[in-house]
Amino acid sequence: MAKDTIRFALPPSQRQVSAGDRVRIEVGGRSDSYRIDRVELGSFQTLTGVRSDAKLYQPQPYQADRLRLDRFVPPLPVFATFLDLPSLSGDEQPQAPYVAASAEPWPGRVAVYASYSLDDYALAQVITRQSYIGRLCSPLPAGPLGLIDRGTQLLVEMPSLPLSSIKLEAFLAGQNKMAIGDGSAGNWEIVQFQFAALRQRGVYQLSGLLRGLHGSDAIMPDEWPSGSLLVTLDQAPPQLSVSPIKRGIERHFRIGPAAKPFDDPIFQSSSQVFLNNVLRPYRPCHIEIRIKPAVIEFTWLRRGRVDADLWQEGEIPLAEAAERYRVRILAQSVVLREAYPERPVWTYEKAWYVSDLKTNNMNGLRFEVAQLSDRFGPGPSAYITISENLEVSG
């Protein structure tokens, strides 16, 4: 149609055939319709036409429900938070913090650009899976460690993910984990909940809490205020590749929809310092003091961060190059003595104790102990305070 042409001649007696007429011509048993586009008059008519069909100009069936215009959704800012978490599963990259990103609507792909200055940004990660980020609707005071807190009722807002209760077996297997923090990279407490009750749309009441998991008891504050961030960890956010030699150096990030360039105003900026908390030793526990005739002996128990959930007899794995601790005696914030024992015991001579008390005007002293890591340094410290008459609290 509209491509095949024909040229033929008619006698003067057929002059009624003019431009715009359609004629049907049969050749070799085939009948086609042609539209006359050009007529040349002479001793006879020479006509030129193009193959056509009247059905092309007839109304065709039309169904309006087959056409649908998708609603236009403009690119919107992406909310992202970084999490420098302790070891959660044991198979994570030791030098890579997590980055949780969320947006409504989710753009499909989120780009993370990184730089060690405010220039020369380079693509560091493309996130394809949305993380679930909420907030606390009620304050969360410090809770018990190693025990299920059945009394606290915590209100949280989680608009994009339905929270549900789980059986005790699933709870003890590690499900329903979440990180609660203030938005800074290293300040996150790992918490589990067993029960979730819907109070209103997107707002849940959580109970049956297990606090300070994976060594995060060391950074548990007296209270997480209302409005603190909450990130679910059952599907952990992706890890961001960071070179281990850059530990402790500030990095700058720009985060936004991957369809936009990194200098677009829709991108959010952030500056972070990562300490590789996945390598952070746990805080020692169960400090005891034994008063002997000439010395004061401090003992404690080591905790492990790798494969340490053992119920049979025997020592848990060390997970460090060597067992070593940092011990300090402090008068308020002033370090009076410091030692590095290689066993979970340290002897404090009573003559030192009397001298240190006098230095602190007989106001009591503080004993601190932290496990050392050759890759991280000292972990969080456990402590007890000693009064003038050797009364101990901590």
Structural domain contains residue 68: no
Q: Same structural domain for residues 269 and 306?
A: no
Look up residue 172 and give its two tokens: 């003890």
Contacts of 220 (CB under 8 A, 6+ apart): 142, 143, 189, 211, 212
Domain count, the chain: 3
Structural domain contains residue 269: yes
Residue 102 above 90 pLDDT?
Answer: yes
DSSP structure class, residue 387 = -
Q: Same structural domain for residues 343 and 201?
A: no
The whole-number pLDDT of residue 53 equals: 80
Q: What is the mean pLDDT of residues 205-209?
A: 97
Q: Same structural domain for residues 101 and 190?
A: yes
Q: Same structural domain for residues 120 and 264?
A: yes
Q: Same structural domain for residues 263 and 306?
A: no
Output the average pLDDT for the chain: 89
pTM of the model: 0.77
Look up residue 55 and give its two tokens: 């059905």
The whole-number pLDDT of residue 248 equals: 85
- From 279, 294, 311, the end of a domain falls on 279
Instruction: Please tell me which residue, 352 or 72, carries the higher pLDDT value.
Output: 352
Distance, in Å, from the CA atom of 97 to the CA atom of 243, rounded to the nearest integer, reads 11
Q: Same structural domain for residues 12 and 142?
A: no
Residue 344 above 90 pLDDT?
Answer: yes
Q: Same structural domain for residues 110 and 215?
A: yes
Q: What is the mean pLDDT of residues 10-32?
A: 85
Tracing tokens 């190059």 back to the chain, one arrives at 321
Q: How does residue 64 score in pLDDT terms, banded at 50, 70 and 90?
A: low
| pLDDT tens-digit series, residues 281-315 | 999 999 999 988 889 999 999 999 888 877 777 78
Look up residue 47 and give its two tokens: 């006509």
Structural domain contains residue 65: no
Q: Give the residue from 162, 155, 176, 190 showing the smallest Cα distance to 282.
A: 190
Q: Same structural domain for residues 230 and 274?
A: yes
Structural domain contains residue 69: no
Q: Same structural domain for residues 301 and 269?
A: no
Is the Cβ–Cβ distance between 269 and 253 less than 8 Å?
A: yes
Q: Same structural domain for residues 236 and 137?
A: yes
Domain that holds residue 241: 79-279
Look up residue 10 and give its two tokens: 């008619």
Q: How far is CA 18 from CA 9, 26, 40, 52, 248, in A?
A: 12, 19, 10, 16, 89
Structural domain contains residue 72: no
The whole-number pLDDT of residue 17 equals: 87
Distance, in Å, from the CA atom of 291 to the CA atom of 299, rounded to the nearest integer, reads 11
Residue 256 above 80 pLDDT?
Answer: yes
- From 279, 297, 325, the end of a domain falls on 279
Q: Same structural domain for residues 49 and 95?
A: no
